[in-house]
Structure 1
Amino acid sequence: MSPADVARILDEMGTLLELRGENPFRCRAYHNAADAIRGLGDDLPERIASGRLAEVPGIGETIRAKVVQLVTTGSVPLYDELRAELPPGLVALLRVPGLGPKKIKALHDALKVESLADLRLAAESGKIAGLKGFGAKTEQKILEGLGFVESTGDRILQSTARRLVSPILGAVRSHPGVIEAEACGSLRRRLDTIGDLDILFSSDDPAPVLDRFVSLPEVASVLAHGPTKASVRLAGGVQCDLRGVSPGQFPFALHYFTGSKAHNIAMRRRAIARGLRLNEYALEGPDGPIPCGSEEELFRALGLHAIPPELREDRGEFDRAEAGPIPPLVERGDLRGTFHCHTDWSDGGNTLAEMAEAARDRGLSYLGIADHSRSAAYAGGLSIDRVRRQWEAIDELNAAMGPAFRVFKGIECDILADGSLDYPDDVLEGFDYVVASVHSSFGLPAEAMTARIVRAVRHPLVTMLGHPTGRLLLRREAYAVDLGAVIEAAAEAGTMIEINASPHRLDLDAPHVRRARDRGVAIVINPDAHATGGLDDLDYGVGVARRAGLGAAEVFNSLPAEEASRALTKLRTRG
C-alpha cells in the first residue's frame, strides 16, 4: 500500500473513531499520524524495512503497528471493524455544517440516518425537531447545511487533488515517449477546491502514453479512451483527464487548459484586436502560425509580460502585465519562519522539541508555538499555570538549540462571545505574540460577530487574527461577519491577519487577502500545524498569497528572526 493511501486510511480511522464516540485525543492521534506519514512521503517503506519508523515523531507504538500492517498486508482489523460497524454514508454527514460526531451518532441511533438522503428526508418530515437536544432551529440549520453541501458538489480539497495527481503525473512523466507533462486546470491555478484533474503532456506519439494511463492502479474505471485523450474515474470517484499534444502545441495547450475561462476569453479578444487568432493549439497570424516555445513567448506575442498561473482570473492581471513585468510572487523558500503551531501541550501530536527540529529541518529559522488557551478544554487548552510552565520549557529549548534557531512564545487565544480574550492582560503581556481566534458561538448574528472580532483585533496585545472567517472548506461555511469592518479595524490597530494554510481552511481567502494588503494590513502565513507534517501545509498558504498577488516583502514571516522579533516587540508595546 502506498504512503498516500496509508495516510488516507489513518485519517478515515480517526474520523470513524470520532463517529463511534471515542476519546477525542485518540481520534486526533490518528490524524496526527496521517500528517506524519505524509511528511515521510516515499521514505515510508524504507523506514519500515530498516526498523526506523519508531524514530518518526507523532506516530505512537499502537498506530505504528497498524501502519506496518497496512504497508505489508494492505489491511488492518480495526479499520475493517469500523467500516463494518459504521455505515459509509455517515462520514459524508460530517460535511453538513453544525453536525459533529455526537449529533450524527444521535441521528443514526434514533432515526437510522445513514446518508445525506436519509438526513434530508428526516429534516423535511420534521422528525429531527422532536429529538432531544435538537429542536426546530437545529432542523432548519441542517436543511440549510444540506444546501451548502449540495452546492459544493463533488469538489475536493486542493491537498486531496495534489495527493491524487502526484503518482499519475509521475507515471506520465516517466514514460519514455513523454517530453513534457504538467497538471493544469484549477489545480495549477491553486484554487481552494478542485472539481476534477487535468493533465497535459507533449509527445510525438501520444497513444502508448494514454494506453499506459488507463491501466494505472489508481484507475477504477475508464470513461473514454481515444488517440489523444483519455478520461478515467479514480478509486475515490474523482475524474482525471489526460490529453496529449505535439511539442509545438504544448505551450498553447498548457495555457488554455490552465484557464481560467475568463482569462482565456480575454486572451482571445486580445489576439483578435491584433489581427491574430488564438486557440488551444496555436496562435495564427495573417501569414500563418506564430510559433511559441513557452507560455512566456505566447504572452510576449500578445504584448504582455508573463502572467503566473495563480493570477489568471481576468481580475486585473492584464493591466499589470501590460504595464511591465509582474513583480515576483512569494514562494515557499521566502518564508523564514511561521507562527500558529500546536504541540502536545494542547491538541498537537508532537513535543516542543520535535516541532522546532522539524521546522529547522524544513529550512526555517524560527517557529512560533501557539497552543490553545484555557477555554478550549476540548483541545487541552492551557491553564495560566501551564502557560508559565510552557514558557520555561521554551526557554530551555531555546538554550539547547542555540542562536541559529528561535522558538517564540505564543498562544492561540480564544475570542470569547463578547470579544474579550481568554486570559487577563497580565498573562497576555508575557507572550511574544498572541493569535486571537474564534472557536465558539459561530451562530452569532453578523453585527454581533463583527463587533466581537473587531473588539479583539483592536486589543493592543493581539498580534494577529487567526482563521478570520472560521470556514472549513467543503464542511462548514464562514460565519456571518463584515470582513470589510474587520480589515479596517486591523489596519487602524496595526494587527496582522493570518492566512491559515491548513488545506481544510485556507482562511483568509485570496480576494480578502488582497483587500487587506491594499489597506496596509500585514499578512502572515501560518500552517495551524498540529503535527510536524502539518508544517508542510505552509505551501498551501503560499498559494493563497500568490493568488492575492503578494510578493515576499508583503508577508510578515519572510522577515529574518531578529527583524521579526523586533517587530513583534514593537506591536506588543503599541498600546
Structure 2
Amino acid sequence: MRSLEPLQAPVYPVEALRRVGFLLERSRQHSRRVEAFRGAVTVLRDLDEGEVRQRVEDGTITELKGIGTSTAGVIEQAVRGELPDYLARQQEEHGGPLVEGGEDYAAAIIGDCHLHSDWSDGGSPIDEMVLTAVELGQEWMVLTDHSPRLRIAGGLSAQRLGQQLQLLAAIDDSLGDAFTLMSGIEVDILDDGELDQTPEMLDRLDLVTASVHSKLKMARAPMTRRMVAAVSNPRVNVLGHCTGRLVTGSRGTRPQSDFDARAVFEACAEHDVAVEINSRPERCDPPDELVALALEIGCLFAVDSDAHAPGQLEMKAYGAERAERLGVPLDRIVTTWDADRLRAWARPG
C-alpha cells in the first residue's frame, strides 16, 4: 500500500472531485461534505466532456442537480486547466502521512479482509472502492458487507448477498490480472456464537470475517463462550475488532468487552483464525496488550482498514504502525500474502 501522489494541473474534473472526496474521507471530515463531492462525481460521469465545458463557459454548471458552489468551483478551475484551489488546500493540509512509523509494513500490506460498500453501510459503490485500492497499490481486497441482523447497517439477506456475488464475479473478471476482488462478509456473531448467515451462503464466500456487534456488555463467561464458538466454526477466517471498544471519534467512547482473551486467542490459533488489527483510529482494536498476547500464543493477524469509504482504505497505515511497533512478524500478517496464498488459507482444499 502506498500513499497517492499529489495531483498537478491539468486534471480532469472527475479526477479532481474524486481526489477531494478521498482526502476528506482520509482526514475524517464531515460526511455531508464528502457526499457533496462524491455526488458531483456521479453527476459528471453521466455527462459528455463537451457539455461540462460548455456549461462552465455559459455559467450554468450549478443548474445541474447535485452541483453546488464548492464543487462547481473545482469543476470550473479543472476545465480551465488549473489545479483547483479547494483541491490544493486539501492536499496541503491533509495529503501528508497519516502516521509516523510503519512505512515498511504499510508497503508490505497488499490486501484487505474487512471493508464495506454502499450495499450495506459504506458510502461508495464497489467499483469506486476497487479503483481506489488499485490506485493505492493494493493487489486484492475482500468485500465484507454486513450480515442481515445488523439492520441499522443495511445488512445483506441471503438473497441480496447472492446478487452481490454475481456482481463481484463480473467486476473481478473485468480486472484481469491487475487486481483480485474476493467475496466475503462481516458476519455478526450471535449471542450463542452462531453466525448471522446461512451455512450455504458462507460456503460460497472466499473469506469470512466474524465480529460481535450486539450485547457488547455481556458477562465475561458467556462472552468468552460466544467468541470461542464463533472462531471454532470452520467457516470463520478472521476475528474482527475483538473487544468492540471505541477510543475516540464522533460516536463517542465505549469500553472494551470483557472476555477471557487467552481462551479466545488459543481457539483462534487452534483453528487457524487470524486476529484482526483493526486500523480505524476510533477503534485501535485490539489494544496493544492483547496484540502482544495473541502474538505470544501464536496467532495469525489481519491488518485491515474496516473502510466504509474509499479514503479510509489508507487507514491501514495506522494498523501497520502498530504491527511493526509491537513486533508482529510480516509473514504472520495474512494481508501481506498474495491472493492465491490467502485463498488457499481461507478455503483449504
TM over 0.5: yes
Equivalent in 385, 393, 397 of residue 171 of structure 2: 397
Q: Deviations over 1:39-68 (max 9, x none)?
A: xxxxxxxxxxx98xxxxxxxxx87762643
What TM-score do the two structures reach when normalised by structure 1? 0.46
1:493 pairs with 2:275: no
Cα deviation digits, residues 497-529 of structure 1 (max 9, x gap): 111111111112233222212222110111001
- Cα–Cα, structure 1 residues 67 and 476, in superposed 2: closer, same or farther, change >3 Å? farther
Q: SS in structure 2 opposite 1:524?
A: strand
How far residue 168 of structure 1 moved from its aligned partner, in angstroms, is: 11
2:115 maps to 1:337: no
Richer in strand (by share): 1
Q: Is 2:125 the partner of 1:351?
A: yes
| Structure 1 residue runs of 4 or more that deviate by more than 6 Å after TM superposition | 34-37, 69-72
For residues 34 and 485 of structure 1, the distance between their equivalents in structure 2, rounded to whole angstroms, comes to 46
Amino acid at match of 1:436: A
Aligned partners of 2:196 and 2:317: how far apart in 1? 30
Equivalents in 1 of 2:227, 2:184: separation in Å?
Answer: 19
For residue 451 of structure 1, report the CA deviation from its aligned partner.
Answer: 1.3
1:438 aligns with 2:216: no
**Which string of whole-angstrom CA distances, capped at 9 and with x for unpartnered residues, describes residues 365-416 of structure 1?**
1111000000111111101001111110011011111123111100000011
| CA root-mean-square deviation | 3.3
Verify the 8 A CA contact 1:433 1:462 in the aligned structure 2: yes
Structure with higher RCO (Cα < 8 A, 6+ apart): 2
Residue 283 of structure 1 is matched in structure 2 by: none
Which residue in the other structure is 1:556 paired with? 334
Identity of aligned residues (%): 32
AA matched with 1:378: I
Q: CA separation in 1, counterparts of 2:28 and 2:107?
A: 28
C-alpha contact 1:365 1:405 (8 A) present in aligned 2: yes
Correspondence for 1:215: none
The structure having more radius of gyration, on CA atoms, is: 1
- The offset of 1:486, in angstroms, is 1.1
Q: 1:11 to 1:492 in 2, by over 3 A?
A: closer
CA distance in 1, matches of 2:126, 2:24: 23
| Partner in structure 2 of residue 68 of structure 1 | 71
Equivalent residue pairs, number: 287
Other-structure match for 1:378: 152
- Counterpart check, 1:506 vs 2:284: yes
Q: Distance in 2 between matches of 1:33 and 1:368?
A: 24
Could you tell me how far 1:433 is from its partner in structure 2? 0.8
Alignment pair present for 1:532 and 2:310: yes
Amino acid at match of 2:255: E
Q: In 2, Cα distance between the equivalents of 1:568 and 1:523?
A: 13
Cα deviation, residue 560, structure 1: 1.3
SS of the residue corresponding to residue 338 of structure 1 reads: coil
Correspondence for 1:418 among 192, 207, 217 = 192
Cα–Cα, structure 1 residues 379 and 333, in superposed 2: closer, same or farther, change >3 Å? same
The residue that corresponds to 1:481 in the other structure is 259
- Is the Cα contact below 8 Å between 1:330 and 1:550 reproduced in 2? no
Distance in 1 of aligned mates of 2:37 and 2:193: 33
- 8 Å contact kept, 1:471–1:505: yes
Given the superposition, is the C-alpha separation of residues 484 and 356 from structure 1 closer, same or farther in structure 2, using an over 3 Å criterion?
same
The correspondence for 2:222, drawn from 420, 436, 448, is 448
1:361/1:168 Cα in 2 relative to 1: closer, same or farther (>3 Å)?
closer
Give yes or no for contact 1:465–1:496 (8 Å, CA) kept in 2: yes
After superposition, the Cα gap between the structure-2 partners of 1:35 and 1:445, relative to the gap in structure 1 and judged at 3 Å, is farther
Alignment of 1:29-428 (within 5 A): 30=32, 33=35, 65=68, 67-68=70-71, 188=100, 330-428=104-202
Structure 1 residues 349, 12: closer, same or farther in 2, change over 3 A? closer
Determine helix, strand or coil for the equivalent of 1:341.
coil
**Aligned partners of 1:35 and 1:532 also within 8 Å:** no
CA apart distance, 1:563? 1.6
Structure 1, unaligned stretches of length 5 or more?
Answer: 15-29, 38-49, 52-60, 73-165, 171-181, 191-309, 311-328
Q: Mark the CA change 1:511 to 1:371 in structure 2 (over 3 Å): closer, same or farther.
A: same
List gaps (5 residues or longer) in structure 2.
Answer: 1-19, 40-51, 54-63, 76-91
Instruction: Decide whether the 8 Å contact of 2:24 with 2:311 is kept in 1.
Output: no
